[in-house]
Chain A
């Protein structure tokens, strides 16, 4: 049973999210060190902190005729939306707010990043940055529908849009087991809205870091933080949606939540450097021709099961 408890989770939830993001960045730095042939020393774990210090000390950038209001608005939106998205995710058996439409809330926050990132690309008044912003919109057109069907599948099976109800409906069998396509589509969607790894197209090297290309200092810190916070939030949401939530033997619920979240996060971080960046023009074709029909068929399975019940 998920309960909304007092005021203190309002502070704890963002702190936990931040801790997860710091671990993800440190893990990524560790993998980078290993691939580059450096010994993976403990100092690598300090990389996220050094990065924060570097960006705080760095002068923010101003460009001629930049649209500063919209630029800042966009840059702030990305991490803020990520933090807001965790409000509905239960940790153990507690959530900040177990809304009856929790899945819709999560999805709405994720779509806010569309606006945020596009504005962040538009603001600096620079060609590559704008291209980066548009690339995210193009990528969004490809990943969003499969992601929505992936979110709908567990909601249909649980006959509820509340995240707590969905976690509870998996007594016995995890949704990841009998909805593998939805689970895979969801994980791909997480990488895509965090625009990291194979979905790093909006910040691609071929357009001189695209949407990140003109940002420095605090602006860059917020956008980069937004990416990793979204990755962590997506990993945390996978637990109640597909992996049985906080249920598990032996240890208390919060420990199971943390363990499962970190496992999903580890898989996502590992995948970041293993694939080339997917060009949105080619991925869109694949998404519409293959992924959308597959995820619709997947959503049909729980619908039929529920009808038959």
Chain B
């Protein structure tokens, strides 16, 4: 009796999906996250867990090797597709599922081929160096990015660890892509170009951006229920729901998260960025206003979301000097996310590895903005 075919069909009924957004692909990512949530298809946190690799966003030549590495690490049966635009998502997922169900029996297990850049054995040998107490301890080098679940895609941080304490953090090169304006900062870009943009529209985009950031932070903190709620509210906002319909749910969500003593207890004292220090580094927006730790930053987001939801119907024109973008003001052609990356190594050094991802998520630099900035640098140089 051949059991393989029905087994593969059952497996294709609920594949886990590794969703990877390329810089400039925020709109496609949002469409994909929304569809997968409504279809009940789980997002895989690692390639080992995934059956489908779904790339959301435009091509990015610099990131192609990293994408191929993810693909090599996925176990068979597997399928791969790219959705360059939000409209292409449904089709890409459907195609992959058909391919998964039809695939012949998986071949023999094999190790992913080495691309020559990895040291033998997959892990570098540990070296020793003096730690902060003057003891000689093993050092481990570990790269975060360019692709991780709930991570600003394209960003790479090279860490030197001793135990679970980060001794050194270095930012990698930012990949440039061809693409459109950053999705989250779009109303501000249009206003800067002289177009008339309503303050209500900008508030809607900003609230959705903060909820997107909150969804990422809460997912990393392992609070599944709150993360799902943040993403549902984000999708409702982008669908154009009115203030009256959103108010009760947003308030309930903001109250529950802001008052959670557990979340506060887990995040307080991590990644402290004082207001003066932030302004000196060119950081504006919520990170500068919060002037504190991870907990202060997510509470600032929550307060901003509650405020913005009240202003969704505001017909006044957007005044960019008063109404900042979701990540702050872009001064002198520099997007605000760039300043966030600048302060990042300083915040990571001395932190524990468990706090590192939370610190990055609490600043949440926007890969779209970074890619656009890298594009300008490349064209200038």
Contacts and interface: CB of A to CB of B under 8 A. Distances in A.
Contacts of B316: none
A204 B40 contact: no
A306 B7 CA distance: 57
Interface residues of B, number: 61
Given A33-B40, A58-B77, A277 B221 contact: yes
A47 B224 contact: no
A215 B77 CA distance: 15
B76 interface: yes
Measured as residues with beta carbon below 8 angstroms from the partner, the interface class of chain A is: 35 or more
B38 interface: yes
Interface in A37-93: 37-38, 44, 47, 49-51, 53-54, 56-65
Contacts of A208: 45-46, 148-149
Interface stretch (A124-132, A227-235, A290-298): A124-132
A60 B109 contact: yes
Contact of B40 (A38, A58, A282): A38
B379 interface: no
Interface stretch (B10-18, B186-194, B237-245, B280-288): B10-18
A32 interface: yes
A178 interface: no
B105 to A, nearest CB: 8
Nearest to A272: B224
B164 A131 contact: yes
A281 B75 contact: no
A241 to B, nearest CB: 26
B172 interface: no
Given A206-B357, A206-B358, A54 B10 contact: yes
B313 interface: no
B316 to A, nearest CB: 33
A205 B219 contact: yes
A59 B40 contact: no
B354 interface: yes
Contacts of B112: 63
Interface string A185-201: 00000000000001011
B45 A58 contact: no
Contacts of A204: 222, 354
Contact of B75 (A32, A44, A60, A273): A60
Contacts of A216: 48-49, 75
Contacts of B76: 58-59
Nearest to B161: A127
A258 interface: no
Contacts of B225: 35, 273-274
Nearest to B48: A216
A87 to B, nearest CB: 32
B62 interface: no
B370 to A, nearest CB: 22
Interface in A214-269: 214-217, 220
B218 interface: yes
B266 A279 contact: yes
A56 B109 contact: no
Nearest to B355: A279
Interface string B161-172: 000100000000
Contact of A65 (B49, B107, B122, B150): B122
Interface string B49-89: 10100000000000000000000000111000000000000
B15 A54 contact: yes
A275 interface: yes
Contact of A206 (B106, B140, B232, B354): B354
B114 interface: yes
Interface of A: 32-33, 35-38, 44, 47, 49-51, 53-54, 56-65, 125-127, 131, 198, 200-201, 204-209, 212-217, 220, 272-279, 281-282
Nearest 8 pairs of A and B residues by beta carbon: A277-B222, A53-B10, A65-B121, A206-B357, A276-B223, A54-B11, A59-B75, A216-B75
Interface of B: 4, 7-8, 10-11, 13-16, 37-38, 40, 45-46, 48-49, 51, 75-77, 106-107, 109-112, 114, 118, 120-123, 140, 142, 148-150, 164, 218-226, 228-229, 232, 260, 262-263, 265-266, 352-354, 356-358
Given A208-B46, A208-B148, A275-B223, 11 more contacts: A53-B7, A54-B16, A59-B109, A63-B111, A206-B220, A206-B356, A207-B353, A207-B354, A275-B262, A276-B262, A276-B263
